[in-house]
Amino acid sequence: MFGFSVISTDPRSGARLGRLVTPHGAVDTPAFMPVGTRGAIKGITPRQLRETGTQIMLGNAYHLQVRPGADCIAALGGLHRFSGWDGPILTDSGGFQVFSLAQINKVTDEGVTFRSHFDGAPMYLDAATSIAIQEQLGADIIMAFDQCPPIPCPATEVSKAVERTVRWAEQCKRAHQREDQWLFGIVQGGLDPALRADCVRRLTEIGFDGYAVGGLSVGETRAEMIGLLEQVTPLLPAERPRYLMGVGTPYDLLESVKRGIDLFDCVLPTRNGRNAHAFTATGRLKLRNQQYRLADEPLEADCDCYTCAHFSRAYLRHLFITGEMLGPTLASIHNLRFFQRLMLRIRGLLPTGMLERITEEYPVARGEVAN
């Protein structure tokens, strides 16, 4: 039912080619997961998502509990049936909302009380509640409840967040009942290598099906993030999948893959698509720009996505300028396919020892460029 295997490694880095097997299908790693916070990839149907090459998507337990409620989704057959996506799903625990919705929550050692960002109604989450919600949702992979501190943050607060994260991880492990779900622990500790190492040690003593590195892409520089991954990732169990949460520029993906990360998620493809930004191998296109008014070429000449096969840059610009809802959908389709093509090429080059060729084929992976 479940399994993870490392097929090969890049002889020049820590990159790993692997395969993750779940009850709803297999995932080739390194893999990128589009974010469907409320059980949907914004503006994209499940069929369209599958056609981009996506194998696994992410949902969010906090937001799905707020509306429509995990009990509703469970009564309607679980998140797969409810959303129409029959592939693997990973759900976040709601721990990131402890950070992102800090202005409407109160954190204690026992759990977190939120005020709904819709109507102000109180909502309480603790480790056991988060697991119960995710078990009702029925995702293939669920995450332990954690506390993600901001960067920068006082050392005492980071240490306190690690203590809560480990305590809640123990409670999550005890509360987890479903054998058809894998439970991942989340490593916290800010930019402190010693705290991160201690968190890894304690989480591995508890024992999880996979391990995530959380608390990054929340204020640190790229150099700080990569430096931390170089120290933390080798400490994670080699036989288990490794997941870097919330990180997803082409540069970050490549550099993190080289440090041994297997799974990623990020809102960038669809958020940028909704805002008229299209990813290409050489940089991002700002589709509202006047320069595309008469541009008859596709977003990217060698892209095999539906958008590039049928529509010009000029047409896409027209859709955004006139406010047509088709624009964000078509741009998001292309961006999702761009990310999946990038990961596919990384997986293709990885066993050959020529992973560095990716920056020749995808100059954007050297750093973001806007056109």
- Residue 295 CA to residue 31 CA, distance in Å, equals 33
> Going by DSSP bridges, is the β-strand pair 242-244/210-213 parallel, antiparallel, or unpaired?
parallel
Partnered with residue 17 across adjacent β-strands are 8
Q: What are 213's two structure tokens?
A: 């590195």
**Of 63, 65, 212, residue with least CA distance to 136:** 65
Q: Are 70 and 91 in contact (CB under 8 A)?
A: no
**Type and span of the H or E element at 33:** strand 31-34
109, exposed or middle or buried, with CB in 10 Å at 0-12, 13-18, 19+? Answer: exposed
Q: What are 345's two structure tokens?
A: 């090429």
**Of 196, 76, 62, residue with least CA distance to 142:** 62
Sheet holding 57-60: strands in order across?
31-34, 263-266, 242-244, 210-213, 182-187, 141-143, 89-92, 57-60
Long-range pairs of 228-231 with CB within 8 A, sequence gap ≥ 24: 228/191, 228/193, 228/196, 229/255, 229/256, 229/259, 229/260, 229/261, 230/259, 231/193, 231/196, 231/197
Q: What are 42's two structure tokens?
A: 């914004």
Catalytic machinery residues: 92, 265
CA dihedral 252, 253, 259, 263 (to 10 degrees): 130
